[in-house]
Chains A and B, each alone.
Chain A
Amino acid sequence: MKLWIKLALRELSGNRKFSLFFILNFSIGLVGFIALNSFNFSIQNHLKNNLKEILTADIAVYSPRPLNQKELNTIDKVLGNERQESHQVTFFSMISGNNLSRLAMVIAIDNKFPLYGKLVMEKNGQNLEDNSLPIKDNSLPQKKPSLPFAWISRDLAVTLNVKTGDTVRIGNMDFMIEDIVISSPGNSVTPVELAPSIYIDISNIEETGLTGFGSRIRYARYYRILPETTTDQVLMAKTIELRNSLAALFDGEPLVNVYNSEDVNRNLGRLFGYFTGYMGLVAIVALFLAGIGTSYLFRGYLNARLKEMAILKTLGARRIDTYFLMTLQVMILGFFSTVLSVAFSFVLLPFFPKVLKGLIPVNFEIAANPESLILASFLGTLGSVIFCLPLFVRIHFLKPLILLQGSDRSAGMHVNKIITKNNLLKISAFLPVSITFWILAVGQTRSFERGTFFLLSFAGVMLITGLTGTFLLSGIRFFSNTGNPILKIAFRNLYRHKFSFISCFVTIAMGAFLINVIPQIKNGIQDEISRPEGMKIPGFFLIDIQPEQLNELEIFLKARGVALDNASPMVRGRINKVNGVGFYDRFGSKNKKNITEDQNREKSRLNAREEGAGQGRFRRREFNFSWREKLDVSETIVKGKPLEDTPWNFHDDKPLEISLEEGFAERFHLEIGDIMLFDIQGIPLEGRVVNFRKVRWNSFQPNFFILFQKGVLDDAPCTYLASVPQMPASEKMPLQNAMAGKFPNISVLDVNQTVEQLLDITDRLTFSINFMAWLAIVAGLVVLFSIVRYETRTRSMEINLLKVLGAGFNDIIKITFVEFGFMGFSASLFAVILSLGCSYGISWLFFGNLWSFRWEYSLFSIFSITVISLFTVYFASRSVIMQKPVVLLKSA
């Protein structure tokens, strides 16, 4: 053992350049992955440690109406008296102040808020250090000022151009801004909100006059269980008990949701998982490309070591000893790669919060965590072995006989000859690499299907690239039949060194492919978001229009020269059953009262699919329903037949006809023909799914998941959604202010502003994903560098011979440049073409054909990759090219 370690270290230190390249190359591949995972682990830890602050409670109960006495009694019974309690009501409303207006989230709190965490405010910042929340000492009602107080978020203060002491109006009531909120618990997770928040006292909500309009109000009760030492298990048990006891009060789906911090954890974890998942996949590709380079480097190294291993074998080393020796060397290098990449990742990590600002918790700090370090060293040491494993086949076939026969170079060639006959072994040696990447991909995407899909498409792209490379080689062979000696030599060099050409071609092309395909997809999405083709995005989107306001609003707008478009009624209700089984029961095993045959059938249908919207605890209890005279331009039926044109008759036995949005149907596993039981304001209704609609949500027109046949909802209490067409920017704010003044209950969403926010987010996401893609390119360049360096060295004889035969220094440079320039150019050109194809395909598959071609970026990438390749090649081959041919004599 000691002997082999000594030998391993000796051989590595005897091959310093190789070791250095290996480490550099592999660590570049690792760094993105490690940085991303450190970030991931950090964020998970952060969430875990702050769950209660995020929820602001141990247990929260949410409902769309105030809880009744029966429900409150149940809570008392389950939670006991040892508890603190805080009440909250939230709803969206227009806030006006200083002649400006903005849709905001009104958070009405009591003086117990928050039970965990703290509000950080501008003025009272100093007092807060000792955790004495101002609201507890001088809570709003106690002060009895002339106007009630409000605390507004900084965002809102900026938008409305107000400061402390100014007045804002919510509904029918004026509030005085007492302070500006810098950060608040609960809101600190994802600060990007479509609506900024404003805090008022819960006792003032009635007076705003906004609660009566059936607008989307959420009533919340937060509980902090005493004593403080209550364990998480007890809290969990109480949560479940409360959930079940409250559910038992309801006939169908309960209106009340019970959450605890575990639910917050699961949901946020999923959110960040999605978000880092795609970056992770790109990081995997970078790692893979670096792996190709690593294994290429190792191939050269191993070939040089074969002779030594043969010597060791004649001296009595067993086959296993030789494996061990090489594995040890790779592991040592892998370990140092890890160390280096961890060091690199510390440089990278601080950029994550900057790039992702607004998407991650405000007070989040990245810390080195043991999990990611363990993952890193595991991946570094074992990963490098796994990459080099396919080459270990060479050791297997090594016979010390070669020592008697001929020169050193024949060792590798001798082994090559045997290996080419053993295709099965060769292929099976690649299994560990494939399996490792498969596991990584599944881990990153947190989904078996998506991970597998990724791996297969990746393998497909690799295969296409490899085949194209091979195809190019035969073309090159043809081209080498030219009179021009430089072209002739350059092209001949290319096809004579197939393995290195394919390796370079594949790595460069894959890197180039990545940096092209992601922006390409993004372009399409961005274009679509900002100006959907064939559709006009409206200027405003209006929510919560009361039926009796509809006429008045239309006249009001007409007077200002704008139309009210697409006014669509919206009725709230619940979905109780699908095919006889509780809507959410179909996903879990809750409430196993009496399972009928129907239920069994329904469950087995869903059993296979584990992932679904029904899984989370954040279940939607209420849905919006609408009906239409005719479909909007933004929606089309993709499956099934149109809804019946005649109004539905209550006295008919026939179920009413329903149209579902495609994605909604998929999420809740609904099929055409399914019978759904609804509860619309207490009235049970039975409907049958007759078609699926594709909806372009980015049209920002009123659209619904569920459309009913005409006539069903005529008498149900409803509100209206509508849109207002685009208008000059200068006219927008005055109109919005006027509407907010005249119709304070109508929420007005500035569509352009929302689009900008979305674009900002996609921009930052693509930036971070693209950064990973550039890592892949760098990995590819390191590969190129190492390959060129290795090739020019093994070819140095040839090069020097050319010099002796009269080729000038310039000729040699030209040959090298033609050779590798051609390689870089063809690889990036191919990559661009492939990326166009793929991005088109992806857009078509996932984003409904959103695709736009930006030739500038593609051209730039081809150009820059070719030039960078040439530079890399120049630096890699310089020393050999500059050599004086006299070495020919010396080395003889």
Chain B
Amino acid sequence: MKILQVKNLVKSYPQTSDNPLTVIFDTSFDVCQGETVAITGHSGSGKTTLMALLAGLDTPDSGSVMIRGEKLGKMDEDRLARFRAEWIGIIFQQFHLMPHLTAKENIMLPLEILKYKSEDIERRANRVLRQVGLDKRKDHLPSQLSGGESQRVAIARALVVEPSLLLADEPTGNLDTNTGEQVADLLFDLVDSSGMTMIVVTHNIELAARCRRNLKFEHGRLQAASMGN
């Protein structure tokens, strides 16, 4: 089953000079349920732009993004927010935790926004906390956590709603090599065990290598990369 269908996507940014900077040229691709996809490409090639379009955080100039058979472009802002919260998990390079909430509260937040029952919230949060190995640090504020721990909280927060699609933009980009590897291990363990679909943007070759499919972003288009399995 195709979970993500991208058709003829075009995105450009207005520039001070007349001709706009086109970052994505007519890109189309599909991703199936349970697939893991790595997107690589040099800095400034347009990977983040693509992720933003996939998450519905930005709107394309033309073309469409369809997730679970629903076109993102057709939804209004609030509907999109709701849809995103239910079906799309996002992991950022800079973690983006709520600074005044503890690790556990950060993880519970999406469930609370989606108005889950409090027993459910408690149960799910505890489970993910265990899964990311942070039950001992659950009452710490982000400022009291290390980078690796923060990213694990962010991963837990993205996974706690059990989304169909996980988008990660350079999840290890802000971490040192060792920590990055640990976080990547954790991420793949969790994704693999849950059969979740994931698209990850990364410079990390090892991380990319663990994905089922590898795509390279070049000259505004996605191409199959040679190094996949």
Contacts and interface: CB of A to CB of B under 8 A. Distances in A.
Interface of A: 3, 7, 10-11, 13-14, 307-308, 310-321, 399-401, 403-405, 407
A7 B98 CA distance: 10
A318 B78 CA distance: 5
Contact of A405 (B48, B84, B112): B48
A3 B96 contact: no
A719 B58 CA distance: 91
Contacts of A407: 94
A401 B52 contact: yes
Contacts of B90: 314, 403
Given A312-B113, A404-B51, A318 B81 contact: yes
Contact of B82 (A318, A320, A403): A318
A319 B52 CA distance: 18
A514 B90 CA distance: 54
Nearest to A308: B98
A404 B109 contact: no
B99 to A, nearest CB: 7
B169 interface: yes
A315 B57 contact: no
Interface string B89-109: 010101011111100000001
Nearest to A313: B81
Interface centre among A311, A316, A407 (most CB of B within 10 A): A316
B70 interface: no
Contacts of A321: 113
Nearest to A304: B99
A404 B96 CA distance: 10
Given A403-B92, A404-B57, A404-B92, A315 B100 contact: no
B109 A401 contact: no
B4 to A, nearest CB: 18
Contact of A316 (B57, B96, B97, B114): B114
A341 to B, nearest CB: 27
6 contacts: A307-B96, A311-B97, A316-B110, A318-B78, A399-B57, A400-B57
Contacts of A320: 78
A307 B85 CA distance: 17
Given A315-B110, A404-B169, 4 more contacts: A316-B82, A316-B110, A320-B78, A407-B94
B86 interface: yes
A11 B84 contact: no
Interface in B53-103: 55, 57-58, 77-78, 81-82, 84-86, 90, 92, 94, 96-101
Contacts of A312: 98, 109, 113
Contact of B85 (A14, A315, A401, A403): A315
A315 B113 contact: yes
B57 A10 contact: no
Contacts of A319: 77-78, 81
Contacts, number: 71
Given A400-B57, A404-B57, A316 B99 contact: no
Contacts of B57: 314, 399-401, 403-404
B113 A401 contact: no
A407 B114 CA distance: 28
Given A11-B100, A14-B99, A404 B52 contact: yes
Contacts of A311: 96-98
A400 B78 CA distance: 12
A209 B52 CA distance: 102
Q: Is the interface of A mostly helix, strand, loop or mixed?
A: helix
B52 A316 contact: no
A321 B85 CA distance: 14
Between B78, B96, B101, the greatest number of chain A beta carbons within 10 A of the residue's beta carbon is seen for B96
A310 B77 CA distance: 13
Interface of B: 48, 51-52, 55, 57-58, 77-78, 81-82, 84-86, 90, 92, 94, 96-101, 109-110, 112-114, 157, 169
A6 to B, nearest CB: 9
Contacts of B109: 312, 315
Nearest to A12: B100
A315 B82 CA distance: 8
The 9 A-B pairs with the shortest beta carbon distances in the complex, nearest first, are A316-B85, A14-B100, A318-B78, A315-B110, A401-B57, A316-B113, A10-B100, A3-B112, A311-B96
A604 to B, nearest CB: 55
Contact of B81 (A11, A14, A307, A317): A317
A460 to B, nearest CB: 38
Highest count of chain A CB atoms <10 Å: which of B57, B86, B94: B57
A13 B99 CA distance: 12
Contacts of B92: 403-404
Contacts of A14: 99-100
A315 B97 CA distance: 11
Residue of A311, A315, A407 contacting most chain B CB atoms (<10 Å): A315
A316 B81 contact: yes
A403 B92 CA distance: 7
A504 to B, nearest CB: 29
A710 to B, nearest CB: 84
A36 B48 CA distance: 58
Contacts of B169: 404
A401 B167 CA distance: 13
Nearest to A317: B113
Nearest to A322: B81
A400 B56 CA distance: 10
A318 to B, nearest CB: 4
Contact of A403 (B96, B99, B113): B96
Contacts of A399: 57-58
A14 B78 CA distance: 28
Contacts of A401: 52, 57-58
B160 to A, nearest CB: 10
A316 B81 CA distance: 5
Nearest to B97: A311
Contacts of B97: 311
Contacts of A405: 48, 52
A14 B85 CA distance: 26
Contacts of B99: 14, 308
Contacts of A308: 98-99
A329 to B, nearest CB: 12
Nearest to B88: A314
Contacts of A13: 100
A314 B94 CA distance: 14
Nearest to A402: B57
A403 B58 CA distance: 12
A305 to B, nearest CB: 10
B173 to A, nearest CB: 12
Nearest to A2: B112
A7 to B, nearest CB: 8
B114 A404 contact: no
A181 B146 CA distance: 82
A47 to B, nearest CB: 51
A321 B81 CA distance: 11
Nearest to B92: A403
A3 B113 contact: yes
Nearest to A401: B57
A3 B52 CA distance: 27
A288 to B, nearest CB: 31
A319 B77 CA distance: 8
Nearest to A310: B96
B46 to A, nearest CB: 12
A313 B56 CA distance: 12
B171 to A, nearest CB: 12
Contacts of B101: 7, 10
A544 to B, nearest CB: 79
A195 B110 CA distance: 77
Contacts of B112: 3
A399 B114 CA distance: 20
Contacts of A310: 96
A317 to B, nearest CB: 5
A3 B98 CA distance: 14
B63 to A, nearest CB: 18
Contacts of A403: 57, 90, 92, 94, 96
